[in-house]
Amino acid sequence: MTNIKYFESQVFSESEKISYSEALNRSWYVACHYSDNIPDFAEVIGHGKVDRVVYYNRQWKDEALLKKHLSQYKNCPFEVVTPAKEIDGKSVREIYYCNSAGELQAITEEYLNFSGDILMEVRMDSNRNLYETIEYEYDASGELSIVRECAPDGTVILEDEYND
């Protein structure tokens, strides 16, 4: 059974959850469609129209999904998030970013800890050429403390610290 929950962002937590009427009063919100209490896909809605669609736990490249998306969402880019798999003791998932014609534009590998927090994003073009890495560090209480943006050679471009 499918149901829809509304959120302020793509963080699907109780603290980000909003009512449908609240969503309609915002310029941007996310409508997440659940199947058996698991996110199936989300519509990122901006200024009254679907800006992009994110499909969860799907394999790349799913021709049936592509065909369905292109027929249901005209001129709308989308993302495909693969199921996480374990690599070297970390959970890794991939995100495929496509334009409105369904052409692959970029790929991100996300490395997660066992709590589901992102440890690192490896961002690549559609040919898997690395263009940047984003590293995340958390404090002892699990709160995000540092975000570090690195060039392909590992040089730190930007580092932000988050303190309460």
Which sequence spans correspond to the domains of the chain? 1-56, 75-164
Q: What is the pLDDT of residue 152?
A: 95
Quick check: 164 pLDDT over 80?
no
pTM of the model: 0.89
Average pLDDT score, the chain: 92
- Count Cα atoms within 13 angstroms, Cβ side, for 135: 14
Q: Give 16's DSSP letter.
A: G
Q: From 2.40.128, 3.60.21, 3.40.390, 3.40.50, which CATH number describes the 75-164 domain?
A: 2.40.128
H helices of the chain, where? 20-24, 63-72
Quick check: 98 pLDDT over 90?
yes
Instruction: Write the pLDDT tens digit of every residue in 16-32.
Output: 999 999 999 999 999 99
What is the mean predicted confidence (pLDDT) over 110-130? 93
